[in-house]
Structure 1
Amino acid sequence: MFINKMRGVLVMGLAAAVVLTSCSKVKRDPGLEYAPQMYRPIAYNPDQKNSVFADGKTAQTPVEGTIPTNYEVFHYPHTPEGYEAAGLELKSPLAHTNENLEEGKRLFLNMCSHCHGKTGMADGNVVAKAGFPAPPAYNSALLKNLPEGKMFYSITYGKGAMGSHASQLSKEERWKIIQYVQYLQQQ
């Protein structure tokens, strides 16, 4: 009987110790950490050797086809005046070819159709199924004759509920999408 009482006291004492060590007056303190290296890993210095990668380098080269963060300088400010100036001055540097149009279609279907719809009628899945506000249709009076410079500006900076796509699409890819949008506007 004495042994059972001792076990009970020992179990209660252990439970109290666990509870007391796991609580803290500091709200962001996680208490006792079993494996602190999992919570606060030591980052590798980009210049040091790293056995995790086959080539032994910590700083890996970017994957082919990725866009560097400093990929372009856009000379039009993100203001209403910049939008108007881009509409007047910016022109596509790409030739209107079937290859560019097909690539523009592929990019449009991957990057734009979820909101704008496959034919630019503002009936994409985000609008139809998720209930987000519809963007204007490409054949609407608002967009039918929109200059390509304003389109490029809108894709670069974003417009209305649409965010910037400059980090996801290269300059050339944006112009190809614009060629396809102009094709949809004519349909």
Structure 2
Amino acid sequence: ESTDNAQEKNSPRSSHRRRKGRSWAHLALAGLMGVGAAGCTDLAGYDIDMLWGYIPMLSTMRWSVAPRPYEMPRLPAEGSIPAVNPRGDVPPPFTQIDLIEGNVEVIGLENPLQPTPEVLARGQQLYTQHCYACHGSEGAGNGPVVGPGKFPFAPASDAAAVARYSDGYLYGIIRVGRGLMPAYGDRSGHLDRWAMVLYMRQLGAPAGAPAFQAPTAAPPEQPAPTTATGTAAEPQTP
């Protein structure tokens, strides 16, 4: 009987069963190790899939060229030269409330352009495109969409009408709108708005009229000087 058992144990069929059993055992062990590793990474607070991104050949499109939060910006390459924004220094965002309240940061904006023929031609082109329908070709507020049964009204926008406003105020109205006038900030560039301001400054002005000087924002009022007792100082008589 022992001889028969030894022959059975050494037979090819028995060897195959043993190898198959070891394969299943190895597979089960690998599965348990994988589940354990996944559980450990979840407990550690990161995804095991993200680990593939640290392998250079598998990290395609995993990292964006945009800087990540709190990442230090890259230093300019050696030999780089500074560039100037062709749109000029764009003012920070503001709202209609800033216009109504007379915010000096808006009202006091200065026009970076000069009324050259090229700038005025650009301003006329944009005025015709965006403003003519309501304000009219001469800025009299009588555009083709204004009248009985149409748009209720449009204020004048010629040189005489805008003379009391600063360049910054007119720029702000074009950018964010006011009242019934919609905002044109998303339909015009920064320098294009300034070109429209200059065009309105000369719209309807007599030929040969001197260049208009735009009013500037009023400086903030200074407090009255006080005496040692804290009351306003009285004017001194000679």
The normalised TM-score by structure 2 is: 0.44
1:94 aligns to what SS in structure 2? coil
* Counterpart position of 1:91: 110
2:96 to 78, 83, 108: 78
Q: Distance in 2 between matches of 1:145 and 1:186?
A: 15
Check the 8 A contact 1:104/1:177 in 2, yes or no: yes
1:117 to 132, 136, 141: 136
Listed one character per residue, the Cα deviations across residues 34-61 of structure 1 (whole Å, up to 9, x for unaligned) are xxxxxxxxxxxxx9xxxxxxxxxxxxxx
Runs of 5+ unmatched residues, structure 2: 1-60, 62-89, 207-238
Change (3 A) 1:147 1:166: same
Identity of aligned residues (%): 28
How far the C-alpha of 1:131 sits from its partner, in A, is: 1.8
Which amino acid in structure 1 is aligned with residue 145 of structure 2? Answer: V
How far the C-alpha of 1:73 sits from its partner, in A, is: 5.5
Change (3 A) 1:129 1:105: farther
Q: Distance in 2 between matches of 1:173 and 1:109?
A: 13
Check the 8 A contact 1:86/1:149 in 2, yes or no: yes
Q: Distance in 2 between matches of 1:140 and 1:93?
A: 19
Q: Distance in 2 between matches of 1:130 and 1:99?
A: 38
How far the C-alpha of 1:137 sits from its partner, in A, is: 1.2
Change (3 A) 1:78 1:139: closer
Which amino acid in structure 2 is aligned with residue 107 of structure 1? Answer: L
Q: Distance in 2 between matches of 1:147 and 1:77?
A: 17
How far the C-alpha of 1:144 sits from its partner, in A, is: 3.2
2:128 aligns to what SS in structure 1? helix
Q: Is 2:166 the counterpart of 1:147?
A: yes
Alignment length, in residue pairs?
Answer: 117
RMSD between superposed Cα atoms in Å: 2.7
Q: Distance in 1 between matches of 2:178 and 2:139?
A: 16
2:145 aligns to what SS in structure 1? helix
Q: Distance in 2 between matches of 1:86 and 1:144?
A: 17
2:193 to 146, 150, 174: 174
Q: Distance in 2 between matches of 1:139 and 1:169?
A: 20
* Counterpart position of 1:108: 127
* Counterpart position of 1:158: 177
Q: Distance in 2 between matches of 1:141 and 1:182?
A: 8
Q: Distance in 2 between matches of 1:123 and 1:100?
A: 25
Runs of 5+ unmatched residues, structure 1: 1-46, 48-71
* Counterpart position of 2:86: none
Which amino acid in structure 1 is aligned with residue 106 of structure 2? Answer: A
How far the C-alpha of 1:128 sits from its partner, in A, is: 3.5
The normalised TM-score by structure 1 is: 0.55
Which amino acid in structure 1 is aligned with residue 124 of structure 2? Answer: K
Q: Distance in 2 between matches of 1:143 and 1:98?
A: 20
Q: Distance in 1 between matches of 2:159 and 2:117?
A: 25
